[in-house]
Amino acid sequence: MMNLLKKLFTGNNEPEENVRHKNEERNFDILKYDGIRAQRIGKWIYAEKCFKEALNIRPDLETASLLVSTSLQLNKLDQAHEVLGQMISLEPQRLQSYLDLARVCYLQEHYDDMLATAQQAAQLVPDNETPYFLQAQAYHKLGDSIHTIVALTQAISRKEDFTEAYLMRGQVLLEMKQYNEALEDVDFLLKHDSIDEEALRLAAEVQQGLGNEDEAVTYYKKVIDLNPFNEHSYEQIALIHARKKEYAQAITTLDEALEINEKAQLYQLRGKLKMDSGDKEGALADMKKALELNPESENRISGHFDNFDTLYKSNNPLG
């Protein structure tokens, strides 16, 4: 009772600064959690506004991270980049900020900045594999295959079962026509997962590079078993048969592909093979179908058909 009377007569003597601070903290929490709720229901613009207003009250790494994810949803890459830079300034030892910034740089196609950021991350935590993988992605986009391989090897040395790095290294070695070296990565990948679509496709392409076309067909068929919509595998099987003058088998392969997914490029290839096998009428029909599906292919189609130019020019269905 005495305490109540004391308050009535003396008033609230809490310092004004404390009151202001409590109000700010309350407003910060309201804005932050309103933003989180907005994120959950896909109200990204409102979430962005809430997080920005909260950060105007005080800096907070969690809220800044939420603003980054919201910015990415809104495709505001420059804003995400700027916020991540501020986060690094606030806490320079936080690895995740560097990794996230490198990934944003990748989306921005700022590959030099991506490389520099990933290198900073590697200096910060030398035993972590991810900064080296990000460096490899940057080097690859910059056209530096040798340093791409070096960075991927560094990533693998830090995580022996880093399948994504093995796959990328195998693909880069394939691009470099280092087929035997790529085959070593293929072997690892298939031992780890014998039905991984990307690994099987890489295996097929490496076997093609080595001249083992029968083995390549076997792997392409495994890819098709996993994904019947993989046009590339049908095309490559057809081309392998065509190189052996096995036109009937090549055309049958494309028939199967077109039953599943009618694509202009498949009709174009089948038309070329029909022309090469002497079926001019069938070739013309496929050319017409390709143009119906993709009229923009008119200017490209003669290059794809090679010896089909004369027939095409005299029978252009578009007039």
CA torsion, points 94, 96, 100, 103, in degrees to nearest 10?
Answer: 120
Spatial distance between the Cα atoms of 29 and 58, rounded to a whole number of angstroms: 11
Spatial distance between the Cα atoms of 305 and 296, rounded to a whole number of angstroms: 15
Question: Residue 185 has which token pair?
Answer: 């990565």
Chain-centre distance of CA 199, in angstroms? 16
Q: What H or E segment, with its residue span, contains residue 269? A: helix 264-276
Residue 17: predicted pLDDT: 72
- Please check whether residue 222 is in contact with residue 241, taking contact to mean a CB–CB distance below 8 angstroms: no
Span 89-106, average pLDDT = 97
Q: pLDDT tens-digit profile of 269-307? A: 999 999 999 999 999 999 999 999 988 765 555 544 444
Residue 170: predicted pLDDT: 98
**pLDDT above 60: residue 169:** yes
Spatial distance between the Cα atoms of 148 and 190, rounded to a whole number of angstroms: 22
Class of domain 28-125: mainly alpha
**pLDDT above 50: residue 214:** yes
Residue 24: predicted pLDDT: 84
Domain ranges of the chain: 28-125
Helix/strand/coil for 227: coil
Instruction: Compute the half-sphere exposure of residue 181: CA atoms within 13 Å on the CB side of its CA.
Output: 13
CA torsion, points 266, 267, 268, 273, in degrees to nearest 10?
Answer: 90
pTM attached to this predicted model: 0.83
Spatial distance between the Cα atoms of 73 and 170, rounded to a whole number of angstroms: 32
The mean-pLDDT minimum among 16-20, 225-229, 233-237, 274-278 falls in 16-20
Residue 69: closest CA among 80, 56, 85: 80
Spatial distance between the Cα atoms of 185 and 206, rounded to a whole number of angstroms: 10
Q: How far is CA 270 from CA 100, 106, 225, in A?
A: 45, 38, 21
